[in-house]
Chain A
């Protein structure tokens, strides 16, 4: 059985274990109807009814279940999924008849007429769908969304962008996250995919914010540190000098990830931050905003 079929089973099991028997029976029937159907109508109806019949409670997965998820598909992290989201994704997966192009076309049709709850669920399902390579344009569309929860459905706790986005798409994902005021920490691959062009874009963005008198997220410096050039080091020096307590911590942490000797020297000027960083007491996760 392939990953998407096993993901369908796993999601269905989580849903069935969490809803009353009657709702579970309804859900089993829908999965069977979707699998057996030659047209998409049963899928449309089941997707519409899912939150009404199954509710929208949080899944609240146990540690063992989250481990099962990660073992099934590296990066699959449903820690904040709800019952209706899991059910909808299971239904979409159940509609897969083995033809990847047909699956992709069906998914596109669903996106085009999706309400906001469906849109979020469908994007969250990205890492589980068959034919991952066919879904890039759709994933990029989600990462362009101005609706924060839709953007986050692609960007947060989702391995798809890290695996599939080219450098330009990746850089815009990170920049967009800052632009719409969401946090960077749940973006998978944030450190691994840092690159010089992104560092440059982020420094320019920081300057724009400074010019406007607007705050700069301390998280911004996380993707600057490893690829900081001379100008970026000057920006970090400025933050160390004039920033708030949180900003100074972030700047120091960024410097600690920079291989350049000037960065080491700069960090040495703030021993009150360098020490705790050395001991692992200041970490990026602490800067994540709700």
Chain B
């Protein structure tokens, strides 16, 4: 059983959903982000947010995968002040939607003054609504941006155990763990983490407060990154209990603080959800935990993502 805590499913196909379900992914979290290009009006932003807590949630359910989301104004679009102000107005309406497990993904892109302003305002919103936070750490000037994000979070008085710092790598992980935050790693070819490196991270730092996700989106990325990484860890002799923490239990605990994601959602969903929202031919129907096979079909021979 796997939980992929960072997926942009709106740009993925039904084949992806089928393969994810077959590989043992029971739930995924869709963080609000940009769309590969900036939006030009708040109207499209509203439609986007209602899509990730509406149609996409329904679509995932048809494949037996439960779908959650995070709500936020991303750092790239925070640089459009007019848009950003309008989005801030509507965020409280969406942050309490069913299945919204955090404010996110928020943080820095180029670390501009506007990014900083809206990052801080959203941290305050997360405090007010008692929601966890998902932090997008910048891809450029990453180390400094990550440290600065954590400083600002502390300055605003958030409990680090309610905050996930995502897109970590070898250069950032120690600082994140030392400060008491969750350290997430996006297994994403070319620009973020490779999964052989992830195995080494777990070997070195253990599984406490560490987890991995796919961050699959419209770019070259792999929606099976979490099960593939789990299998790679298994082959490398990482204990099963640690694999389970890194690919399932830790993200569930971190985002579970919202009260909006629970194991029962897929093991024993309320009848109304079974009737309406969870219609895939899930092997989990009837509350049975699936067998975790040593090698699931469909993962392919080469499990590496570099």
Chain A residues near B50: list those with CB within 8 A.
112-115
Question: Which residue of B has the minimal Cβ distance to A290?
Answer: B275
B54 beta carbon closer than 8 Å to chain A: yes
- Cα–Cα distance between A52 and B97 once the two chains are bound (Å): 10
Least distance between A78 CB and chain B CB atoms (Å): 12
Chain B residues near A58: list those with CB within 8 A.
270-272
A116 touching B93 in the complex, CB below 8 Å, given contacts A56-B273, A58-B272, A149-B276? no
Which A residues, 30 to 53, have Cβ-Cβ distances below 8 Å to chain B? 44-45, 48-49, 51-52
CB atoms of B98 and A115 under 8 A apart: yes
Chain A residues near B93: list those with CB within 8 A.
44, 48, 113
Bits for B175-206, please: 1 = Cβ < 8 Å to A, else 0.
00000000000000000000000000000000
CB atoms of A112 and B46 under 8 A apart: yes
CB atoms of B90 and A116 under 8 A apart: no
Total inter-chain residue pairs, C-beta < 8 Å: 66
- Cα–Cα distance between A211 and B43 once the two chains are bound (Å): 43
Bits for B85-105, please: 1 = Cβ < 8 Å to A, else 0.
000001011101111000000
B165 beta carbon closer than 8 Å to chain A: no
Chain B residues near A55: list those with CB within 8 A.
270
Least distance between B59 CB and chain A CB atoms (Å): 8
A259 beta carbon closer than 8 Å to chain B: no
Least distance between A105 CB and chain B CB atoms (Å): 16
- Cα–Cα distance between A82 and B96 once the two chains are bound (Å): 19
Chain A residues near B27: list those with CB within 8 A.
none
Bits for A127-163, please: 1 = Cβ < 8 Å to B, else 0.
0000000000000000000011110000000000000
Chain A residues near B270: list those with CB within 8 A.
55-58, 82
**Of A45, A113, A115, A148, which is within 8 A of B57 by CB?**
A115
Bits for B261-297, please: 1 = Cβ < 8 Å to A, else 0.
0000000001111011101000000000000000000
Least distance between B180 CB and chain A CB atoms (Å): 27
Which A residues, 114 to 132, have Cβ-Cβ distances below 8 Å to chain B? 114-120
Interface size class of A (residues with CB under 8 A): 20 to 34
B55 beta carbon closer than 8 Å to chain A: yes
**Of B96, B271, B277, which is within 8 A of A149 by CB?**
B277
Chain B residues near A116: list those with CB within 8 A.
53-55, 57-58, 98, 277
- Cα–Cα distance between A26 and B275 once the two chains are bound (Å): 27
A82 touching B99 in the complex, CB below 8 Å, given contacts A114-B54, A116-B53? no
- Cα–Cα distance between A148 and B277 once the two chains are bound (Å): 9
Most chain A beta carbons < 10 A, residue from B58, B92, B99, B273: B58
- Cα–Cα distance between A112 and B98 once the two chains are bound (Å): 15
Bits for A66-88, please: 1 = Cβ < 8 Å to B, else 0.
00000000000000101011000
Question: Which residue of B has the minimal Cβ distance to A109?
Answer: B93
Question: Which residue of A has the minimal Cβ distance to B279?
Answer: A148
Chain B residues near A114: list those with CB within 8 A.
50, 54
Bits for B229-269, please: 1 = Cβ < 8 Å to A, else 0.
00000000000000000000000000000011000000000
CB atoms of B46 and A113 under 8 A apart: yes
Question: Which residue of A has the minimal Cβ distance to B54?
Answer: A116
CB atoms of A115 and B53 under 8 A apart: yes
CB atoms of A113 and B276 under 8 A apart: no
- Cα–Cα distance between A112 and B271 once the two chains are bound (Å): 26
- Cα–Cα distance between A58 and B54 once the two chains are bound (Å): 21
Which B residues, 25 to 79, have Cβ-Cβ distances below 8 Å to chain A? 46, 49-50, 53-55, 57-58
Least distance between B63 CB and chain A CB atoms (Å): 14
Chain B residues near A113: list those with CB within 8 A.
46, 49-50, 90, 93-94
Chain B residues near A148: list those with CB within 8 A.
279
Question: Which residue of B has the minimal Cβ distance to A49?
Answer: B96
CB atoms of B97 and A115 under 8 A apart: yes
Chain B residues near A147: list those with CB within 8 A.
54-55, 58
- Cα–Cα distance between A114 and B96 once the two chains are bound (Å): 11
CB atoms of B90 and A51 under 8 A apart: no
**Of B99, B259, B271, which is within 8 A of A115 by CB?**
B99
Chain A residues engaging chain B, CB cutoff 8 angstroms: 44-45, 48-49, 51-52, 55-58, 80, 82, 84-85, 112-120, 147-150
A-B residue pairs in contact (CB < 8 Å), sample of 7: A44-B93, A48-B97, A56-B273, A85-B272, A112-B46, A115-B97, A149-B277
Chain B residues engaging chain A, CB cutoff 8 angstroms: 46, 49-50, 53-55, 57-58, 90, 92-94, 96-99, 259-260, 270-273, 275-277, 279
Q: A114-B50, A116-B53 are in contact. List 20 more A-B contacts (CB 8 A).
A: A44-B92, A44-B93, A48-B97, A49-B96, A51-B98, A55-B270, A56-B270, A56-B272, A56-B273, A82-B272, A112-B46, A113-B90, A113-B94, A114-B54, A115-B57, A115-B99, A116-B58, A118-B98, A149-B58, A149-B275
